[in-house]
Amino acid sequence: MKQWFAFWLCLLLLSGYPILAANICLDIDNEPDVRFKNLEKLVRTEMQMFPAYRVDSANCQSELKVDLFTLAGAYNLTVQISGQVPLRYSFTNGDELGGILRKAIALVLDNDPVRLRKDITHYSKASLAVHNLRVRGNNLFRIELFQQLTLVGDELSSLPGMAFSFTRSADHWQVYGKGNVAAQFDRVAYTKASVNFSLGADVGVGYELNNKNVNTPYASLGAGIQHLSFEGYTSGNERKGDLRKTGPVLYCRTGYRFFRITNFDFDIFVASYIPLFLSQNEETPLFRDDGKYTPSFQFGIGVGL
């Protein structure tokens, strides 16, 4: 229980940057119609798709007007932001309302004059980094090949692996989400406990030292979940067993990126997974008496596309 508490605390700290959301008021006018009595609820639900805005009737920075009425047997929807030219849609099938409303809200919010002229010079460094990532960040998908070394007792267990990640970066900062898998495909004669399979996922933040150079060192920190599968003999080679363990981990990484252009880079790295748990299970003879602390280390190469 303690390790899971530490894991969620780390995630909270990693995600604790301020969200720069603008306050927006809703002005909804709907003709009495039993089919659309929950129009306001629908609008509020759609607004949740836009993290740059927070619905707040007490402190308005922008105002979104939505007007729905019937005319000549057709439904007419008008959507307007902060006094700008409104968008109007006409449709006869009431089931189309959700899709049309979503499209209209996205279009008007994209041209919100309050958001476009918002002054960011007074932001703190952390707030400015979040703003840049959200507004003008660049997306990269990354493919990595690595060798993983897991410490089991006093020996290292080696596995080849592959990882896939999504990264959004702006200036020096990056946020990422990554999944990785490593496995020993050749069956070997285990004389001691070894790792034969590893699966993990983590999220975190990274920092590139030279954001304007084509080559730069970098470092990142994250938190995630790791699953390890062990196979081998108990101490003294008395009995063969296996063990599968899943738990929270901390992740740290450093490396060097080359040939950095808008949609490409080449990466060499070393990384470490620091488990917040012991590999132990009373139902298997492996590590029954004393749980093993099993940190993992990775070194490899990656390509961002």
Question: Which domains does the chain show, CATH number per domain?
Answer: 21-116 (3.30.160), 133-304 (2.40.160.20)
Predicted local confidence at residue 18, as pLDDT: 42
| Best CA proximity match to 275, nearest among 218, 207, 219, 198 | 198
User: Average pLDDT, whole number, for the chain?
Assistant: 80
pLDDT tens-digit map of 211-232: 778 899 999 999 999 998 887 7
Residue 152, C-beta contacts closer than 8 angstroms, at least 6 positions apart: 192, 193, 194, 195, 230, 292, 294
Q: What is the per-residue pLDDT for 59?
A: 78
Two tokens, residue 46: 């759609």
Residue 124: the pLDDT is 63
pLDDT in tens, 138-158: 888 999 999 999 888 777 888
Tens digits of residue pLDDT in 62-103: 889 999 888 888 888 999 988 888 899 998 888 888 889 999
**Percentage of the chain with pLDDT > 70?**
78
Q: How confident is the model at residue 120 (pLDDT cuts 50, 70, 90)?
A: low
- The pLDDT assigned to 16 comes to 43
pLDDT recorded at residue 142: 93
Mean pLDDT of 122-127: 66
Query: Residue 14: what pLDDT?
Result: 46
pTM for the full model?
0.58
So what's the pLDDT on residue 117?
64
User: Which of 121, 110, 112, 90 shows the shortest CA–CA distance to 25?
Assistant: 112
Q: What is the band of 289 on the pLDDT scale with cuts at 50, 70, 90?
A: low
Check pLDDT > 50 for residue 12.
no
Most confident of 22-26, 191-195, 221-225: 221-225
pLDDT tens-digit map of 236-263: 555 555 677 888 999 999 999 998 876 7
Give every CB contact of residue 65 below 8 A, 6+ residues apart in sequence.
27, 28, 29, 78, 79, 80, 81, 86
The predicted model gives 133-137 an average pLDDT of 74
% of the chain residues with pLDDT over 90: 29
